[in-house]
Amino acid sequence: MKNYLWQEGGGSIDAAIAEFTAGEDVVLDRQLFVFDIQATAAHVRGLQRIGIVSDSECDTLCRLLGELRAEFESGSFVLDERFEDGHSAIEVYLTEKAGPAGARVHTGRSRNDQVSVATRLYLKDRLARLTGLCARIAQACLDKAEAEPDLPMPGYTHLQRAVPSSSGLWMAAFAEAFTDNMAFAGSVSGVVDSSPLGTAAGYGVNLPLDREGVADELGFARLQVNPMYAQNSRGKFEIMALQAALHAMQELRRLAWDLSLFTTSEFGFITLPSQYITGSSIMPNKFNPDVVELLRGRAATPEGAIAEIQSVLSLPSGYQRDLQLTKAPLIRGMESSLQALAIVPALVQGMAFNPDRMREAISTDMFATDIALERAAAGVPFRDAYLQAKKELDRLDAPDAEASLAQRVSPGACADLRLDLIRRRLAILSQDFDK
């Protein structure tokens, strides 16, 4: 039997209806429970400051909340189907151990209010993790580009060999991309960093709640001022956080795609660390880049989560029970993304280039663009130079790939990667993040 605090004296509860309305909340709330406890303690201290909870009651409740957190983290308290959700579990625990004092804990807040602040704290925590992971991946790519900047490798457009490129250029592309992803996650965090606690069901309460003090205690940068908007922003902020995760995962998908191609026998440009490949279940000769393939596929999870939440948000102003359905896709999308991103730095650090295979894949015709540009620089109109080079494709000599790359002097190109600029921006963003 679940503990339904809100149903006291309201008659029996149909089991099928109870299961339908509660859904998987109690399981999902395991991800939010620590944050819910943290917010409840801050709320109790706020109630103490306005005289709703006595000093001794405040001390007792905060001590019990600390004990509940410790029991939950140790596994001795299990958030399970005994409870409707994490919010009711907290109140049940406090009421059982502190009596009437425990029953005061919900004064001035609604369950909507409670889940909003717990979710908001969760978002702050996960966006911080996301920002840090993007920084680590960018750093790993930079280090790889710096360690082996000049290895020739084909550059592709439309999956066709195009022009000579380099390992440094390829790795630097991902370094800059993940630096941008870090910046985007940080900007989303700046929007999300606002406290909705104290807005109750979206219309405030007839109590002088210390919303500012509670927000400061919880580490929020500011209040989410308007109580109705606090409810209306549910789902919106979740989508923003998932978009930050998706940006990183889309770039990871691109990297995984490249690795899937470059590690094939046909390419053979890169060898993966052994822990990232698995053997075939039936073919003794076969090894598969399973981890890379799953990294590629994981981008679908935040993408699907965003679509799911967007479908829910076709709602009027104010709280609607539909908003409960944003919790599952949010947690699924964020946790899946963070798990995937966490294994990427070691993957980048451990993969090895095969210079001979990369150099062999650079065919003579790939230097035609170089020839056209050299003639254009000598005064031939570029379109004429282009047509001349096109006619001479079969007669081109095999140039030196390293020499060709050394002449690629446009800013950011192979001979001038500007890794220092990417590294400097990454360092500045990291400093801002640490603040």
pLDDT per residue as tens digits for the range 324-359: 999 999 999 999 999 999 999 999 999 999 999 999
CA dist., res. 331 & res. 388, Å (int): 58
pLDDT average, residue stretch 250-257: 97
pLDDT of residue 334: 98
SS3 267: coil
pLDDT average, residue stretch 181-209: 95
Q: Say which CATH superfamily domain 112-361+421-434 falls into.
A: Fumarase/aspartase (Central domain) (1.20.200.10)
Give yes or no for residue 369 having a pLDDT over 80.
yes
pLDDT of residue 395: 73
Listed in order, the ranges of the chain carrying CATH 1.20.200.10 are 112-361+421-434
The average confidence (pLDDT) of the chain is 91
pLDDT band, very low/low/confident/very high, at 187 (cuts 50, 70, 90):
very high
Taking each helix axis from N to C terminus, what angle separates 300-312 and 290-298, rounded to the nearest 10 degrees? 20
pLDDT average, residue stretch 14-20: 69
Check residue 102 and give left, alpha or beta (phi > 0: left; psi -120 to 50: alpha): alpha
Q: Tokens for 174?
A: 């991902």
210-233 exposure pattern, b = at least 16 Cβ within 10 A, e = fewer: bbeebbebbebeebbeebeebbbb
One-letter amino acid identity for 60?
A: T
DSSP secondary structure code for residue 248 in this structure: H
Give yes or no for residue 4 having a pLDDT over 60.
no
Q: Tokens for 76?
A: 């001795």
What separation, in Å, do the N-terminal and C-terminal C-alpha atoms of the chain show? Answer: 47
pLDDT of residue 1: 46
Q: What percentage of the chain exceeds 90 in pLDDT? A: 74
Listed in order, the ranges of the chain carrying CATH 1.10.275.10 are 5-107
pLDDT of residue 12: 58
pLDDT band, very low/low/confident/very high, at 26 (cuts 50, 70, 90):
confident
pLDDT of residue 16: 75
Which of 139-143, 210-214, 332-336, 372-376 comes out lowest in average pLDDT? Answer: 372-376
Q: Are strands 222-223 and 194-195 parallel, antiparallel or unpaired?
A: parallel
For 118, 135, 145, 174, 324, the CA distances from 122, given in Å and listed in that order, are 6, 20, 35, 28, 15
Say which CATH topology domain 5-107 has: Fumarase C; Chain B, domain 1 (1.10.275)
Q: pTM here?
A: 0.91
Give yes or no for residue 23 having a pLDDT over 80.
no
Which of 16-30, 228-242, 257-271, 378-392 comes out lowest in average pLDDT? Answer: 16-30
Which of 6-10, 84-88, 118-122, 123-127 comes out lowest in average pLDDT? Answer: 6-10
Which of 138-147, 279-288, 422-431 comes out lowest in average pLDDT? Answer: 279-288
pLDDT band, very low/low/confident/very high, at 412 (cuts 50, 70, 90):
very high
pLDDT average, residue stretch 356-370: 90
- Annotated catalytic sites, by residue? 158, 280
CA dist., res. 353 & res. 151, Å (int): 9
Helical ranges in 233-299 per DSSP H: 236-262, 290-298
Q: Can you give the C-alpha Rg of the chain in angstroms?
A: 28
Listing DSSP states for 91-129 in one string gives: HHHHHHHHTHHHHTTTTT--HHHHHHHHHHHHHHHHHHH
Give yes or no for residue 373 having a pLDDT over 70.
yes
pLDDT of residue 365: 86
